[in-house]
Amino acid sequence: MNSKLLKVILILLVAVPFFGQAQTHDYSMRRCWGYHKDSCKVSKNIYYRVVDNSRSALFVKGQTSRIKLTIYNGRDYRVSFCHDQVLGEGIVMRLIDSENENVLYDNSEDGFASEFEFTVTQTRDIYIEISVPGTSRYSEAADDADLIFLRKDTEMGCIGILVEHMITPVKGF
C-alpha cells in the first residue's frame, strides 16, 4: 500500500468521528455543551457576573432535573434559562430550599417568566429545578431497554441555565 493512501486512511479514521458530532440537527457547533453561553441573554446590568454554576443540558419532553446552587447573603442574583423551541412553551423553573424542600420561587405563578432576580438575606443551598412539559417516548418508557432511539428534532432540545450575581447595592441614601 502506498504511503499517501495510508496517510489519507489514517486521517479519515481520526477525523470522521468528529464530523458526526459536529453536525447534529440544526446546530453548527457544539450542540448543548455551552448552550447557556451561546443562547441565554446576559443581564444588561454591568455589575452582574456569570456564576460558574451556570449549566446546559439536553432535555426530553416530560423530564425534570435540578442543580444545586449556594446563594450568599449580601448578593443579588439573576437566574434565567433559555431553551430550544422544540421543547415548547410552559417550561417550569423553580427555586427550592435544599434543607426543607420549600419552593421559594415558581415561574408558573409568574407567567412562566424565563428570568428572576432576587436579593439574598441568608446564605443557603438551593436547587434550581427545570421541568419540561409534555411527553416523549423516553418519559413514557419503563426502562432504557424499551427504547431504541429518540428523535432529536421533535422530542429533545437544549436548556441553558444562566446564573449571575453581584454585591447587593446599599439601600437608601
131, pLDDT greater than 60: yes
In this structure, are residues 59 and 136 in contact, taking their beta carbons and an 8 Å threshold?
A: no
Buried b (16+ CB within 10 A) or exposed e, 119-145: ebeeeeebbbbbbbeeebbbeeeeeee
Q: Return the ∠ at Cα 72 (arms to 160 and 81), rounded to 5°.
A: 15
pLDDT of the residue at 46: 94
Model confidence pLDDT, tens digit, residues 80-124: 999 999 899 999 999 999 999 999 999 999 999 999 999 999 999
pLDDT of the residue at 21: 40
C-alpha cell at 62: 416530560
- Closest Cα to residue 80, out of 39, 46, 120? 39
d(CA 107, CA 54): 18
Question: What is the reported pTM?
Answer: 0.76
Q: Supply the Cα-derived Rg of the chain in whole angstroms.
A: 21
The domain over range 30-167 is classified in CATH as 3.10.129.10: no
Model confidence pLDDT, tens digit, residues 47-92: 999 999 899 999 999 999 999 999 999 999 999 999 999 899 999 9
